[in-house]
Protein backbone atom coordinates (compact mmCIF):
# COMPACT_ATOMS: atom_id res chain seq x y z
CA UNK A 1 0.00 0.00 0.00
CA UNK A 2 2.73 2.44 0.93
CA UNK A 3 4.62 1.82 -2.31
CA UNK A 4 1.43 2.57 -4.23
CA UNK A 5 0.87 5.74 -2.23
CA UNK A 6 4.45 6.95 -2.70
CA UNK A 7 4.24 6.40 -6.47
CA UNK A 8 0.98 8.36 -6.55
CA UNK A 9 2.46 11.17 -4.44
CA UNK A 10 5.62 11.44 -6.55
CA UNK A 11 3.52 11.92 -9.69
CA UNK A 12 2.00 14.93 -7.93
CA UNK A 13 5.51 16.23 -7.18
CA UNK A 14 5.06 15.75 -3.42
CA UNK A 15 8.20 15.44 -1.33
CA UNK A 16 6.41 15.06 1.99
CA UNK A 17 3.16 13.42 3.02
CA UNK A 18 0.37 15.74 1.96
CA UNK A 19 -3.06 15.26 3.53
CA UNK A 20 -4.87 16.17 0.31
CA UNK A 21 -2.83 13.63 -1.66
CA UNK A 22 -3.46 10.94 0.95
CA UNK A 23 -7.23 11.43 0.71
CA UNK A 24 -7.11 11.48 -3.10
CA UNK A 25 -5.09 8.27 -3.23
CA UNK A 26 -7.33 6.53 -0.68
CA UNK A 27 -10.43 7.55 -2.64
CA UNK A 28 -9.20 5.53 -5.63
CA UNK A 29 -10.12 2.29 -3.84
CA UNK A 30 -13.40 0.71 -4.90
CA UNK A 31 -15.01 0.09 -1.52
CA UNK A 32 -15.59 2.26 1.51
CA UNK A 33 -13.79 -0.14 3.82
CA UNK A 34 -10.76 -0.30 1.53
CA UNK A 35 -10.62 3.50 1.35
CA UNK A 36 -10.69 3.66 5.13
CA UNK A 37 -7.87 1.11 5.41
CA UNK A 38 -5.76 2.97 2.86
CA UNK A 39 -6.07 6.27 4.69
CA UNK A 40 -5.33 4.62 8.01
CA UNK A 41 -2.10 3.14 6.62
CA UNK A 42 -0.94 6.53 5.32
CA UNK A 43 -1.88 8.16 8.62
CA UNK A 44 0.33 5.79 10.59
CA UNK A 45 3.12 6.32 8.07
CA UNK A 46 2.79 10.10 8.39
CA UNK A 47 2.82 9.93 12.19
CA UNK A 48 6.04 7.96 12.05
CA UNK A 49 7.72 10.41 9.65
CA UNK A 50 6.43 13.50 11.43
CA UNK A 51 8.36 12.54 14.55
CA UNK A 52 11.49 13.66 12.69
CA UNK A 53 10.08 16.17 10.21
CA UNK A 54 6.99 18.30 10.96
CA UNK A 55 6.52 19.08 7.25
CA UNK A 56 4.74 15.73 6.90
CA UNK A 57 0.98 16.28 7.26
CA UNK A 58 -1.33 14.00 9.20
CA UNK A 59 -4.37 13.15 7.03
CA UNK A 60 -7.78 14.01 8.49
CA UNK A 61 -9.58 11.21 10.25
CA UNK A 62 -13.06 9.83 9.59
CA UNK A 63 -13.09 10.89 5.94
CA UNK A 64 -14.22 7.44 4.94
CA UNK A 65 -16.59 5.71 7.33
CA UNK A 66 -16.29 1.92 7.13
CA UNK A 67 -19.34 -0.24 7.49
CA UNK A 68 -17.63 -3.47 8.43
CA UNK A 69 -19.67 -6.44 9.49
CA UNK A 70 -17.91 -9.67 10.26
CA UNK A 71 -20.15 -12.46 8.98
CA UNK A 72 -21.29 -15.05 11.48
CA UNK A 73 -19.48 -18.31 10.81
CA UNK A 74 -21.22 -21.58 10.10
CA UNK A 75 -19.97 -24.14 12.63
CA UNK A 76 -20.12 -27.58 11.06
CA UNK A 77 -20.87 -30.73 12.98
CA UNK A 78 -18.58 -33.76 12.67
CA UNK A 79 -21.25 -35.40 10.53
CA UNK A 80 -21.39 -32.34 8.25
CA UNK A 81 -17.65 -32.54 7.65
CA UNK A 82 -17.82 -36.26 6.92
CA UNK A 83 -20.54 -35.59 4.33
CA UNK A 84 -18.52 -32.76 2.77
CA UNK A 85 -15.32 -34.81 2.50
CA UNK A 86 -17.22 -37.84 1.25
CA UNK A 87 -19.20 -35.78 -1.27
CA UNK A 88 -16.05 -34.14 -2.60
CA UNK A 89 -14.47 -37.57 -3.13
CA UNK A 90 -17.22 -38.34 -5.67
CA UNK A 91 -16.40 -35.34 -7.88
CA UNK A 92 -15.06 -35.82 -11.38
CA UNK A 93 -14.82 -38.92 -13.51
CA UNK A 94 -13.71 -42.25 -12.03
CA UNK A 95 -9.93 -42.39 -11.74
CA UNK A 96 -9.46 -38.63 -12.02
CA UNK A 97 -7.57 -36.63 -9.43
CA UNK A 98 -10.34 -34.05 -8.95
CA UNK A 99 -12.37 -35.89 -6.31
CA UNK A 100 -9.30 -37.02 -4.38
CA UNK A 101 -7.83 -33.53 -4.49
CA UNK A 102 -10.91 -31.72 -3.20
CA UNK A 103 -11.77 -34.30 -0.54
CA UNK A 104 -8.19 -34.17 0.78
CA UNK A 105 -8.07 -30.38 0.50
CA UNK A 106 -11.32 -29.83 2.41
CA UNK A 107 -10.40 -32.51 4.93
CA UNK A 108 -7.03 -30.86 5.57
CA UNK A 109 -8.68 -27.49 6.18
CA UNK A 110 -11.16 -29.06 8.57
CA UNK A 111 -8.56 -30.94 10.63
CA UNK A 112 -5.81 -28.30 10.76
CA UNK A 113 -7.65 -24.96 10.59
CA UNK A 114 -5.39 -23.74 7.77
CA UNK A 115 -6.41 -20.69 5.77
CA UNK A 116 -7.39 -21.42 2.17
CA UNK A 117 -4.32 -19.64 0.80
CA UNK A 118 -2.02 -21.56 3.15
CA UNK A 119 -3.26 -24.93 1.93
CA UNK A 120 -3.41 -23.88 -1.72
CA UNK A 121 0.23 -22.69 -1.64
CA UNK A 122 1.64 -25.85 -0.07
CA UNK A 123 4.54 -27.42 -1.94
CA UNK A 124 6.00 -30.90 -1.59
CA UNK A 125 8.99 -29.48 0.29
CA UNK A 126 6.60 -28.06 2.92
CA UNK A 127 5.63 -31.57 4.05
CA UNK A 128 8.02 -32.65 6.81
CA UNK A 129 7.99 -35.37 9.49
CA UNK A 130 7.14 -32.66 12.05
CA UNK A 131 4.15 -31.37 10.10
CA UNK A 132 3.35 -28.81 7.42
CA UNK A 133 5.60 -25.77 7.06
CA UNK A 134 3.42 -22.73 6.50
CA UNK A 135 5.69 -20.07 5.05
CA UNK A 136 5.25 -16.32 5.67
CA UNK A 137 1.53 -16.04 5.05
CA UNK A 138 -0.99 -13.45 6.20
CA UNK A 139 1.18 -11.79 8.85
CA UNK A 140 4.58 -12.66 7.32
CA UNK A 141 5.03 -15.35 9.95
CA UNK A 142 6.07 -18.94 9.32
CA UNK A 143 5.00 -21.84 11.51
CA UNK A 144 4.91 -25.62 11.63
CA UNK A 145 1.48 -27.23 11.81
CA UNK A 146 1.47 -30.78 13.26
CA UNK A 147 -1.22 -33.12 11.98
CA UNK A 148 -3.29 -35.91 13.46
CA UNK A 149 -2.27 -39.43 12.29
CA UNK A 150 -5.55 -39.82 10.38
CA UNK A 151 -4.85 -36.58 8.52
CA UNK A 152 -1.34 -37.79 7.71
CA UNK A 153 -2.78 -41.05 6.35
CA UNK A 154 -5.32 -39.26 4.13
CA UNK A 155 -2.65 -36.89 2.79
CA UNK A 156 -0.26 -39.76 2.05
CA UNK A 157 -2.98 -41.64 0.13
CA UNK A 158 -3.63 -38.55 -1.96
CA UNK A 159 0.08 -37.97 -2.61
CA UNK A 160 0.42 -41.41 -4.18
CA UNK A 161 -1.94 -40.32 -6.98
CA UNK A 162 -0.68 -36.74 -7.01
CA UNK A 163 2.93 -37.76 -7.71
CA UNK A 164 1.80 -39.67 -10.80
CA UNK A 165 0.57 -36.45 -12.36
CA UNK A 166 3.89 -34.62 -12.18
CA UNK A 167 3.38 -31.01 -13.34
CA UNK A 168 4.24 -28.29 -10.79
CA UNK A 169 5.36 -29.00 -7.23
CA UNK A 170 2.21 -27.67 -5.61
CA UNK A 171 0.58 -30.30 -3.42
CA UNK A 172 -2.93 -29.50 -4.62
CA UNK A 173 -3.59 -28.99 -8.34
CA UNK A 174 -6.72 -28.78 -10.45
CA UNK A 175 -7.48 -30.54 -13.73
CA UNK A 176 -5.71 -27.66 -15.46
CA UNK A 177 -2.52 -28.47 -13.53
CA UNK A 178 -2.67 -25.25 -11.52
CA UNK A 179 -3.19 -24.72 -7.81
CA UNK A 180 -6.85 -24.18 -6.87
CA UNK A 181 -8.25 -20.66 -7.04
CA UNK A 182 -10.56 -19.49 -4.28
CA UNK A 183 -13.43 -18.69 -6.63
CA UNK A 184 -13.53 -22.11 -8.28
CA UNK A 185 -12.93 -23.93 -4.99
CA UNK A 186 -15.72 -21.97 -3.30
CA UNK A 187 -18.18 -22.87 -6.04
CA UNK A 188 -17.17 -26.52 -5.72
CA UNK A 189 -17.43 -26.40 -1.93
CA UNK A 190 -20.93 -24.94 -1.99
CA UNK A 191 -22.08 -27.46 -4.59
CA UNK A 192 -20.79 -30.28 -2.38
CA UNK A 193 -22.51 -28.73 0.66
CA UNK A 194 -25.81 -28.52 -1.24
CA UNK A 195 -25.61 -32.16 -2.27
CA UNK A 196 -24.66 -33.16 1.27
CA UNK A 197 -27.64 -31.27 2.67
CA UNK A 198 -25.46 -29.09 4.89
CA UNK A 199 -27.56 -26.09 3.90
CA UNK A 200 -27.30 -22.46 4.82
CA UNK A 201 -26.09 -20.66 7.93
CA UNK A 202 -28.67 -19.48 10.50
CA UNK A 203 -28.30 -15.97 9.03
CA UNK A 204 -29.34 -17.29 5.63
CA UNK A 205 -25.86 -17.00 4.12
CA UNK A 206 -24.32 -19.97 2.35
CA UNK A 207 -21.40 -21.78 4.01
CA UNK A 208 -17.89 -20.61 3.15
CA UNK A 209 -14.65 -22.56 2.91
CA UNK A 210 -13.31 -20.35 5.72
CA UNK A 211 -16.01 -21.79 7.97
CA UNK A 212 -13.92 -24.97 8.16
CA UNK A 213 -11.22 -22.92 9.91
CA UNK A 214 -13.84 -21.35 12.18
CA UNK A 215 -15.13 -24.80 13.06
CA UNK A 216 -11.66 -26.09 13.88
CA UNK A 217 -10.97 -23.14 16.20
CA UNK A 218 -14.29 -23.48 18.03
CA UNK A 219 -13.93 -27.24 18.53
CA UNK A 220 -10.38 -26.75 19.79
CA UNK A 221 -11.61 -24.23 22.36
CA UNK A 222 -14.40 -26.58 23.42
CA UNK A 223 -11.74 -29.20 24.19
CA UNK A 224 -9.82 -26.82 26.42
CA UNK A 225 -8.76 -28.29 29.80
CA UNK A 226 -10.23 -26.96 33.04
CA UNK A 227 -8.32 -24.44 35.13
CA UNK A 228 -7.32 -20.84 34.49
CA UNK A 229 -3.61 -21.50 33.87
CA UNK A 230 -4.29 -24.48 31.64
CA UNK A 231 -6.92 -22.55 29.66
CA UNK A 232 -4.48 -19.68 29.11
CA UNK A 233 -1.79 -22.05 27.83
CA UNK A 234 -4.33 -23.79 25.61
CA UNK A 235 -5.45 -20.52 24.01
CA UNK A 236 -1.87 -19.30 23.50
CA UNK A 237 -1.02 -22.61 21.81
CA UNK A 238 -4.10 -22.35 19.61
CA UNK A 239 -3.21 -18.78 18.66
CA UNK A 240 0.21 -19.97 17.52
CA UNK A 241 -1.20 -22.99 15.72
CA UNK A 242 -3.72 -20.90 13.77
CA UNK A 243 -1.14 -18.25 12.88
CA UNK A 244 -3.00 -15.39 14.56
CA UNK A 245 -0.97 -12.22 15.08
CA UNK A 246 -2.84 -11.38 18.29
CA UNK A 247 -4.44 -13.54 20.93
CA UNK A 248 -7.56 -11.34 20.70
CA UNK A 249 -8.25 -12.92 17.31
CA UNK A 250 -8.53 -16.30 19.03
CA UNK A 251 -10.72 -14.92 21.84
CA UNK A 252 -13.28 -13.94 19.18
CA UNK A 253 -14.18 -17.62 18.78
CA UNK A 254 -15.28 -17.90 22.41
CA UNK A 255 -18.72 -16.50 21.54
CA UNK A 256 -19.34 -18.71 18.56
CA UNK A 257 -21.32 -21.59 20.12
CA UNK A 258 -23.84 -21.98 22.94
CA UNK A 259 -21.55 -24.49 24.64
CA UNK A 260 -18.67 -22.01 24.86
CA UNK A 261 -20.99 -19.25 26.07
CA UNK A 262 -22.34 -21.62 28.73
CA UNK A 263 -18.79 -22.45 29.83
CA UNK A 264 -17.93 -18.75 30.04
CA UNK A 265 -21.07 -18.06 32.09
CA UNK A 266 -20.23 -20.89 34.46
CA UNK A 267 -16.67 -19.56 34.90
CA UNK A 268 -17.98 -16.07 35.62
CA UNK A 269 -20.41 -17.41 38.21
CA UNK A 270 -17.52 -19.29 39.86
CA UNK A 271 -15.51 -16.06 40.08
CA UNK A 272 -18.44 -14.20 41.62
CA UNK A 273 -18.93 -17.01 44.11
CA UNK A 274 -15.28 -16.80 45.06
CA UNK A 275 -14.25 -20.14 43.60
CA UNK A 276 -11.29 -20.74 41.31
CA UNK A 277 -12.68 -21.07 37.71
Share above pLDDT 70 across residues of the chain, in percent, rounded to a whole number: 84
What pTM, to 2 d.p., does this model score? 0.68
Say how many residues make up the chain. Answer: 277
**Catalytic (active site) residue 241:** no
Whole-angstrom Cα distance, residue 217 to residue 209? 14
Q: State mean pLDDT over 160-177.
A: 86
Structural domain boundaries in the chain: 2-50, 78-196, 210-272
**Lowest-pLDDT choice from 158-162, 172-176, 244-248, 269-273:** 269-273
- Residues 138, 141, 228, 233: which is the catalytic one? 138
The pLDDT, as a whole number, for residue 250 is 72
Asked if the model's pLDDT at residue 136 lies above 80, the reply is: no
- Residues 16, 182, 190, 210: which is the catalytic one? 210
**Catalytic (active site) residue 16:** no
pLDDT tens digits along 40-93: 999 999 999 998 999 999 999 888 876 656 667 788 999 999 999 999 999 988
The pLDDT, as a whole number, for residue 264 is 65
**Catalytic (active site) residue 35:** no
Asked if the model's pLDDT at residue 152 lies above 80, the reply is: yes
- Residues 213, 214, 219, 256: which is the catalytic one? 213
The pLDDT, as a whole number, for residue 164 is 86
**Catalytic (active site) residue 253:** yes
- Residues 36, 179, 208, 244: which is the catalytic one? 244
- Residues 36, 38, 100, 115: which is the catalytic one? 115
**Catalytic (active site) residue 210:** yes
Asked if the model's pLDDT at residue 177 lies above 70, the reply is: yes
**Catalytic (active site) residue 163:** no
Which of the four pLDDT bands, split at 50, 70 and 90, describes residue 240?
confident
The pLDDT, as a whole number, for residue 71 is 67
Mean pLDDT across the chain: 85
Tell the CATH superfamily of the 78-196 domain: Intergrase catalytic core (1.10.443.10)
The pLDDT, as a whole number, for residue 276 is 54
Apex CA 66: angle with CA 64 and CA 67, to 5°?
A: 145
Asked if the model's pLDDT at residue 258 lies above 80, the reply is: no
Amino acid sequence: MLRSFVAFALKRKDRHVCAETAVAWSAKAKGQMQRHKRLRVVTRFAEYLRAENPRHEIPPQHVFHPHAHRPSPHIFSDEDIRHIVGGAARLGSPGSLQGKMYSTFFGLLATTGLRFSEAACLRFSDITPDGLIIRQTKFRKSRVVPMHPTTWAALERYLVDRHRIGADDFVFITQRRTRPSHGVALGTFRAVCDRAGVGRCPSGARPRIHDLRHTFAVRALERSPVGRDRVERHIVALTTYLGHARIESTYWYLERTPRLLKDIAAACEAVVAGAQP
